């Protein structure tokens, strides 16, 4: 494998991990492969991963090897990463080894889901609803006026409606919330793209 192919595969695999919120050690444990395989590959001490290792890693995420390496779309399942309750703050699954996978809606290539708990967001979102969003690492121009999963800088993750604030900041409002969160700095924001009613 040429160095440029190895670099492309490293970048694709890192992106896949980033978008799915994967950490090397728990992923390797679930796949029953040694974590040194990934660490050596990412550090450039190895130019490739064996077909057997790639197959096990892909199977653990319920995708094809091609999808893992960015050579095809990622179909099938996405991880259920947490729950939204009172205050619309997301409570993350704290053990990645136990992350539940849920069927992805059509067209969602690399995404995730959160489940609504309780009635704090009625009538729009109800207890048991699954909310799907595309994983991101930034705040795109398409978030304004939309319900988004947002990560407040150095703070919690919420489900909020996003509006422009001043000087690159954002106002965040929630259903059944009296006061908006004003002029918040966001690390990322991902619009809700699909709702599966519970």
Q: Which residue has the higher pLDDT, 23 or 2?
A: 23
pLDDT in tens, 144-164: 999 999 999 988 888 889 999
Percent of the chain with pLDDT over 90: 33
Structure confidence at residue 37 (pLDDT) = 92
Confidence of residue 177 (pLDDT cuts 50, 70, 90): confident
Q: Is residue 105 part of a domain?
A: yes
The residue range of the domain holding 32 is 3-68
> What's the CATH code of the domain at 24?
1.10.260.40
Structure confidence at residue 56 (pLDDT) = 92
61 and 98 part of one domain = no
57 and 125 part of one domain = no
Q: Where are the alpha helices (DSSP H) in the chain?
A: 3-20, 24-31, 36-42, 51-60, 65-68
106 by Cβ neighbours in 10 Å (0-12 / 13-18 / 19+) ranks as exposed
Residue 178 has pLDDT above 80, yes or no: no
Structure confidence at residue 68 (pLDDT) = 82
92 and 186 part of one domain = yes
Beta strands in the chain (DSSP E): 77-84, 90-92, 100-103, 111-116, 130-134, 147-152, 157-164, 170-173, 181-184, 186-196
């Amino acid at each position: 494998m040429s160095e440029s192919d190895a670099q492309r595969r490293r970048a694709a695999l890192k992106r896949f991990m980033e978008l799915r919120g994967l950490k090397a050690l728990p992923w390797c444990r679930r796949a029953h492969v040694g974590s040194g395989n990934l660490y050596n590959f990412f550090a450039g001490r190895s130019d490739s991963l064996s077909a057997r290792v790639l197959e096990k890693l892909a199977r653990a995420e319920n995708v094809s090897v091609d999808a893992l390496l960015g050579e095809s779309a990622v179909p099938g399942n996405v991880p259920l990463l947490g729950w939204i309750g009172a205050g619309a703050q997301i409570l993350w699954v704290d053990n990645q080894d136990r992350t539940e996978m849920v069927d992805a809606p059509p067209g969602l290539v690399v995404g995730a889901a959160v489940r609504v708990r309780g009635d704090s967001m009625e009538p729009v979102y109800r207890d048991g609803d699954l909310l799907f969003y595309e994983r991101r690492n930034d705040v795109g121009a398409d978030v304004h006026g939309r319900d988004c999963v947002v990560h407040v800088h150095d703070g919690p993750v919420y489900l909020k409606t996003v509006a422009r604030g001043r000087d690159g900041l954002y106002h965040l409002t929630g259903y059944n919330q009296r006061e908006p969160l004003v002029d918040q700095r966001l690390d990322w924001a991902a619009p809700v793209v699909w709702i599966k009613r519970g």
